[in-house]
Structure 1
Amino acid sequence: MKIGLVGFGKAGKAVANVILQDTRFSLEWVLRGRKVMEKGSVKDFLGLDVPDKGMIYSQQNTDITTLLQEAPVDIIIDFSTKKSIYQYGKPAAERGIKIISAISHYHNDEIKLLKDLSKSTTVFWSPNITLGVNYLLFVATLLKSIAPEVDIEVIEEHFKAKSGVSGTAIKIAKALDLKTENINSVRAGGIVGKHEVIFGFPYQTVRLVHESISREAFGSGALFAASHLKNKQKGFYNFEDILRPYFLREAEGVLS
């Protein structure tokens, strides 16, 4: 599958590194906000000997329609900003290119746009695209459904410079019907990302913890989503749509 990557910050570089080392996929190009390294090669920048083209283009100097014509892709993976979807979204959807967005903080207008685009192509959105944190979210909602009256607190830890409450923590709180007051934020050093859900039962406590050791976890999650979207019809998808069948199969196996 041919991939176009939007965004080449810290997360984008880590994602590109994962894509280039997975032979199931080919990184055709990267579209970034800055002009630095324009027309250079991602594989040269990362020092990898792979066949992928991985050419770097700047959003300022690139016409997205021309890029999609001259360097067609099957999937666009977005690790940039909430504004980028307005540049590539419609041209990609018109060509049936699948879209995977890992933008943490979309506003209602961007979410509406994603859903509109999903009428023409396959669109996947996850504020945190790591597989582990979505596994945590799925399990947490199951536990909450079993014990709806349990006390729940969410703790999110990130690097010191990260502003605002984690989008993933907000998603967890929303899924568990919690108020933002139940989210406890920690900012220290270079923590990549850690989320913990504490279930306070009488006489016992259950803790679900996910910690990102490296930003490459974002790349693994994006490719996990890409591999499961390969044969999906147009529509709007999230991680629950991908993970639910696994849990159902396991439940059927236990009960049979």
Structure 2
Amino acid sequence: MTPIVINACTGRMGQELLKAAASDSQVEIVGAMARAQHQKLGTDIGYLVGMEPQGVFVGDDLSVTLNERKVLIDFSLPEHSIETLSHAVSANSPVVIGTTGFSDEQKQAITEAAQSIPIVFAANYSLGVNSLLGLVKQATRLLGDKSDIEIFEAHHKYKKDSPSGTALALGEAVADTQGRDLDNVAEWARHGIGEREPGAIGFSVMRGGDIVGTHEVVFALKGELVTLRHEAQTRQCFAQGAIEAAKWLLGKPAGLYDMQDVLGLKD
């Protein structure tokens, strides 16, 4: 059985993680964390998600909760996630990171932390999206030099980062397959720039309502379109993937892993 600690447990993803973990006989929730002075501190986690009492209460002190035998799952905000990571390094605790929107400097901090502890860091934890990444690479090999490539993503109106981490991962899958740097070929906006640049990878974003997550990669050829699309209907697919990552991570050596490693999908 894998002992897990869920950070930011009162948020949207935190509550989905609680439900997924409580329903999985192979994991045990041994900690559930919220920010200091949160109104839910001391609450049984079962009450947060409409379940029977679980005997685990919301706390705020990671320093007394983590150790090398517990896996921390963190879906929070970039600054808080990096602060949390420092506690994990001190405790030698493995970490599953689902936060998106990190700066380059923060990503470097994650890479450095992975020299000390095992970390799974992925933009998206769903099986479907990780399969989509493989399909996008295959389509790029077949169609990339013959088509214009566009990436579209849509999320709920409260999402803070844009484009989504998953959209960026899809763009990187295209660019890496073509041996290019995404930063050099991405078109983030088109207002006033004129004709499409040859070889560009275009991004467009929608924010509205309560959309869980939709991603499309379009290969536009002369007279035809090939579209690869994934739509998340609930956040449960992300939560279950993160739980699977935690189970896989326990006992692994220090290093930086992703969901492709967890699912055995690496090229």
1:6-51 deviations in Å (ceiling 9; x for gaps)? 112112111211111111111112111251111111113323237x
2:4 maps to a residue whose letter is I
2:18 to 16, 19, 24: 16
Residues 1:201 and 2:251 aligned together: no
Determine helix, strand or coil for the equivalent of 1:100.
strand
Q: Indicate which of 91, 97, 101 corresponds to 1:95.
A: 91
Q: 1:151 aligns with which of 145, 148, 152?
A: 148
TM-score (norm. length: structure 1):
0.84
Aligned mates of 2:41, 2:266 — CA distance in 1: 44
Residue 124 of structure 1 corresponds to which residue in structure 2?
120
Amino acid at match of 2:155: H
- The amino acid across from 2:132 in the alignment is L
CA RMSD of aligned residues (A): 2.2
Q: Residues 75 and 99 of structure 1 are in contact (CA less than 8 Å); yes or no, is this contact kept in structure 2?
A: yes
- 1:6 maps to 7
Indicate the SS of the match to 1:129: coil
Report if the CA contact (8 A) 1:15-1:215 is conserved: no
Unaligned runs of 5+ in 1: 249-256
Asked whether the 8 Å contact 2:154–2:205 carries over to 1, the reply is: yes
Name stretches of at least 5 consecutive residues in structure 2 with no aligned partner. Answer: 176-184, 189-201
Shift of residue 113, structure 1, vs aligned partner: 1.6
Structure 1 residue matching 2:163: 3-state secondary structure = coil
Give the whole-Å Cα distance in 2 for the aligned partners of 1:124 and 1:73.
16
CA distance in 1, matches of 2:63, 2:170: 37
Percent identity between matched residues is: 23
Would the aligned equivalents of 2:15 and 2:48 in 1 still touch at CA under 8 Å?
no
Cα distance in 2 between the residues matched to 1:242 and 1:47? 30
Deviations 1:91-110 (A, max 9, x none): 32243311000011111222
The whole-number CA distance in structure 1 between the counterparts of 2:253 and 2:241 is 20
Q: Distance in 2 between matches of 1:180 and 1:125?
A: 25
Residues 1:83 and 1:247: Cα distance change in structure 2 (over 3 Å)? closer
Q: Which amino acid is the alignment partner of residue 32 of structure 1?
A: A
Are 1:142 and 2:149 an aligned pair?
no
Q: What residue number does 1:180 align with?
A: 187
Distance 1:198 1:125 in 2: 26
Cα distance in 1 for residues equivalent to 2:134 and 2:153: 17
Determine the C-alpha separation between the residues in 2 that align with 1:217 and 1:40. 26
1:1-256 paired onto structure 2 within 5 Å: 1-7=2-8, 8-33=10-35, 35-49=38-52, 52-58=54-60, 62=61, 64-68=62-66, 74-149=70-145, 150-163=147-160, 164-177=162-175, 178-181=185-188, 182-243=202-263, 245-246=264-265
